[in-house]
Structure 1
């Protein structure tokens, strides 16, 4: 097989303790009127306020949009874009968790091209460059600071939806693990488990024929040599740091490992894509109103068990990175880690009602871009087996 790789990334990615203090210098090279997107809680945080001072000291005019809501309801993005037009920003800065960064991407798109978010659902429907974006994560999970995706929630569809385009990759990302030091244990666990799921699904995604032009035709091309590198690095960093970051939030080394792991996982799945765990979580999350990271992590061991006959080499590689005996030991090791940091082990414990299993199965099968990215096919009958297993907590029925 010929060596093939794809990575798309910010023009500038700066990682390290204290790097948030470079925001003013970076922003001054991209614009003069900055729309800073965050949420209500962070808007009064002293570190956030200090970053606004850096921007103003660098000569930028600043407007703050602090109305970001969890999972970014589509209507909230439309309202925020309408308000921001009067300011006429030429730069958008997202500071916060994944929802804040996704909101920043969506606003940069709507301010550049107009219309509504619904007009851009899917892949490669953004017509051209958006406003420059600087992404500054304060949690370590989604990897949105480096990905081509903005995820929103659409009440009309009762599901999360995605806008996927390389144009949405931030121009610059500033990843300062100091900003995660105050992140509470529960959020650290959910975000970090989300990142580990991203890395595993990217590393075990389908491998497509590397036809010339595939990277222009698809946002998510499947696993490849470049994404594999970042995915494995992410798995190792998260395995090393996540549990410690949850039990000792003041451990700066663990926090840095988890943040770098989340960013590397974003670089990996930003081109390789995710798969069945994400497809099933979307309807499960809509029904249970549980955090995305908890849902995908709950599902990940069952999806890995289903895919195991197809991903044996990948499991062996993961075993080496995390230091367990063989590929057969990887799935229970991942499940045990998730259990230790508080991820619910079954869909039942996540809050899914048994009488909604059929609906979850049907909805999961409709998310074609994710199901087609899964390395082992999942026709409807097998999808039902997988959802049943995750509900009952029995991976053996997938053998």
Structure 2
């Protein structure tokens, strides 16, 4: 999954940056970054243009790395950076740096770091985009399952005089996969469905009026993804499978969160539950359907021995986690969508009057889309899960879940 590898790269790059910041640049001669045709390190552009950023990078000693950070503002006008590594022959001391940037209304600049063996140099380019059409998007990113529709909503200013409006879906290489027109209402609002696939990484919107054009872009996420909040972490698109050669195990503290058996055995104390389709078990239990079992499952529990073979947990009652209800048909006291990253929501699930006990088996009677359930983690944190999609039958059964979990 692209997002998983990007997160890992960001963490690796963050460690590298920290190491560079703590290094003593006086131990060596700094590399030089000389931009080409970029006066005063500033560029101006209309949206929808492709900017070419070129520089000559030289060093008296061997260059060990070149990194650049594309800077964009979010909906709160805070500058966010996306890091990239520039590939070059590491034995060289002189490198011609060249990249292309497609301009949208949020692009604000680029930062380049050239690292030598003992010193580094940093330069920035400010990018001013003269956007004639401004976007206010309902969401900052699109998170959905591959092949599922997601609604894109927003407004533009100024209203009226729209001559054309279309969107493009792009892959990781910024190549256009699909292009389609959408309508902008007289009040400047728009709404249209998009169905990303696993290759979609970005959605680009373009609107042109009599004065010029405006462009905005949204990242598209179709695989497992986690966002850290202040009090609550959000998990999206967690795909659990009944198939043992798939990902039957959920572990909120271990990426990619839906784990294989091999990953589960290496992270046993992080496994919170196991997904099993009880249709294909012994007649005594057949027909129960989709279930998840809390981490206190043992080899004698409801013919699920193959899922815990070789596991050593649990070790005593302290490891037992319990689901709130046996069945999703039971009444759940919280609305999943209204449970957000604030103290009021947290107080709801920390209410001592709530009963968080059950037999540790949760039956998805009809696996209703949107149905939610609560459970305790092994360290007593509380969490809420919601069904997004189910597919397949028997051992091919798959369930997609979103989660909100205490940090």
Give your verdict on TM over 0.5.
no
Larger radius of gyration between Structure 1 and Structure 2? 2
**TM-score of the aligned structures, taking structure 2 as reference length:** 0.24
| Structure number with higher helix proportion | 1
Higher RCO, 1 or 2 (CA under 8 Å, sep at least 6)?
A: 1
**TM-score of the aligned structures, taking structure 1 as reference length:** 0.24
